[in-house]
Structure 1
Amino acid sequence: MTALAHSLDFGGEVVSFSIERTSRRKTVAISVGYDGVRVLAPSDLDDERVISIVRKKGRWLLRKQAGYRELGGAPITREFVSGETFHYLGRQYRLKVVPDTSAVITRITARGSTLVAPVLPEAGTLVRRAAVRSALRHWYRDHAKVHFRVRSKAMADLLGITRPTVHVVDQSKRWGSCDARGHIRLNWRLIMAPMTLVDYVIAHEACHVLEHNHSKRFWRSLETIMPGYESRVRHLDRLGHLFVW
């Protein structure tokens, strides 16, 4: 299978991609990931036709790429074993997996700067890792629900709007979003970031309750309640990949 490099300009934003040809495909498939855009095409389909198909997907490609850029890089590999470091509100916590014959369900407990995860002693490696990963996700989500709603109310008060409905969600490519009804969705992974960065994302989405696009009015509202927000954006860009697993 050969791969050929190409690029397309969509209104000043360039999308680079490789075309990989294989006789096993009958149609064109496009995928977007942390490593870029990949196009799989039938071996008998000429470049011009493949590029035409990719061009028609321009808006979708830009949206997908923006999502991956928002999280700042590829996720890091986790083993979910004792000694690994996890973040909570910007602080580092050390994971400690302990055998416990009563741990039918693994639940995380924070003890100082340690996250304790009890597991059944007889659990195999894969089962143990899955149990710890699931427990961590539940622990983070539970804490995110509390903090996000408190901070959303604070940002709403600053903007002079009614506190928006907040949903804590699992979305791997975005920190937050706001729909047409003014409902805010926040990625549970955001709770790993320092509170200043949590506040930035919530402030950003709260401003979308007033303005559903990135107009001048939107940026003025954000600057009003969070002067110098740009530095928080850059900080989140640098740290984001640490919170994705």
Structure 2
Amino acid sequence: MHSIQFGNAIIPYEVKWSNRRKTIAIAVNSNGVYVTAPTDTPQEKVASVVYQKAEWIRKQLVHFNEMNDSIHYRLFLAGEKLPYLGRQYRLKIEKGKSILYPSFIFQHGVFIAKLPEDTAEEDHRKILLPLYEHWVKVKGEAFVRNRITRFTVKLQQEPSAIKIKDQQQRWGSCTANGQVLINWRILLAPVSIVDYVLAHELAHLKYMDHSKEFWITLGMLIGDYEERKEWLRVNGKTLYI
């Protein structure tokens, strides 16, 4: 772990060396600051770039700290409600001696988790969150593939691939080779917000920047995108469960 001093603040950061990169990249998420640099970059150069970006890094860290303070993390206890596509569904917990491995399904409008009898409640989240995430990714990918056609018909262009990912900083992204990547957490939001993120990333198939032409294209796909964008700005933190 490395660090720089910026004013009265100490900013720690981790460095990953890569022979594929030609420039230094900095990423900030809820877990800290991460720098990826070309293999032959002097450590002093890395520290200098981090210092130059220190004000931006500080603002990002404040943002994530505020978001973490306001997040209501689920404990995955019996009776809690878990979101999917804007609706909340009750979680039912079943435990028994015959249950050897945890499982997680959705049936008749209820999430059902089965756990070994001796599973402590404080371990529920650690065990069930990955199973819930997997369920959302699998179910959500089928939903997205079906939903996306309403926009590709208008756009007359399709992505090379659609993938549901665990993205810490973005709700979605579009790669240079036309892949659309969707943060699985957006599938917890109302369908209208999922549509906004899908349309936003699809518009990048034509314009990779946020130019005037990009926003015109997005407006063609979704007329009220500004309202949906604002909903996500205000309520996005509630999707981190």
Higher RCO by CA contacts (8 Å cutoff, separation 6 or greater): 1
1:154 correspondence with 2:150: yes
Give the 3-state SS of the residue equivalent to 1:76 in structure 2: coil
For residues 164 and 55 of structure 2, the distance between their equivalents in structure 1, rounded to whole angstroms, comes to 27
Aligned position for 1:105? 101
Alignment match, 1:44:
none
Q: Report the aligned-residue RMSD.
A: 3.2
- Change over 3 Å in CA distance of 1:218–1:120 after alignment to 2: same
Matched, 1:144 2:127: no
In structure 2, distance between residues paired with 1:217 and 1:192? 30
**CA displacement at 1:105 relative to structure 2:** 3.1
Moved more, 51-60 or 131-140: 51-60
Runs of 5+ consecutive residues of structure 1 not aligned to the other structure: 7-17, 21-27, 38-50
TM superposition shift of 1:138: 1.4
Is residue 129 from structure 1 mapped to residue 125 from structure 2 by the alignment? yes
| CA–CA distance in structure 2, aligned partners of residues 104 and 161 of structure 1 | 47
C-alpha distance in 1 between matches for 2:32 and 2:104: 36
- State the identity as a percent: 30
Amino acid in structure 1 at the alignment position of 2:161: T
CA contact (8 A) 2:159 2:178 kept: no
- Residues 200 and 229 in structure 1, CA contact (< 8 A), matched pair in contact too: yes
What amino acid is the match of 1:207?
Answer: A
Alpha-carbon separation, structure 2, partners of 1:130 and 1:203: 33
1:57-68 superposed matches below 5 A: 57=53, 61=57, 65=60
Map 1:84-95 to 2 at 5 A: 84-95=80-91
Distance 1:236 1:103 in 2: 40
Q: 2:236 maps to which residue?
A: 240
Task: Give yes or no for the alignment of 1:211 onto 2:200.
Answer: no
The aligned amino acid for 1:215 is S
- Provide TM-score, normalisation by structure 2: 0.74
Q: Which of 94, 112, 118 is the equivalent residue of 2:114?
A: 118
CA contact (8 A) 1:156 1:162 kept: yes
Match of 1:80 among 68, 76, 79: 76
Question: How far has the Cα of 1:101 moved from its partner?
Answer: 3.6
CA contact (8 A) 2:171 2:182 kept: yes
TM-score, normalised to structure 1's length? 0.72
The answer to whether the 8 Å contact 1:152/1:163 transfers is no
Matched, 1:187 2:183: yes
1:19: which partner in 2?
9
Residue 193 of structure 1 aligns with an amino acid whose one-letter code is: A
Q: 2:131 & 2:49 partners in 1: Cα distance?
A: 43
**2:44 corresponding residue in structure 1:** none
Q: For residues 150 and 190 of structure 1, what CA distance do their matches in structure 2 show?
A: 16
CA contact (8 A) 2:74 2:125 kept: no
Counterpart of 1:73, as a letter, is: M
Which 5+ residue runs of structure 2 have no aligned equivalent?
A: 15-27, 34-46
Q: 1:163 to 1:180 in 2, by over 3 A?
A: closer
Whether contact under 8 Å (2:77, 2:121) holds in the other structure is: no
Contact 1:99 1:121 in 2 (8 A): yes
Which range is displaced more, 74-83 or 218-227? 74-83
Aligned length: 207
Q: What is the identity, as a one-letter code, of the residue corresponding to 1:95?
A: L
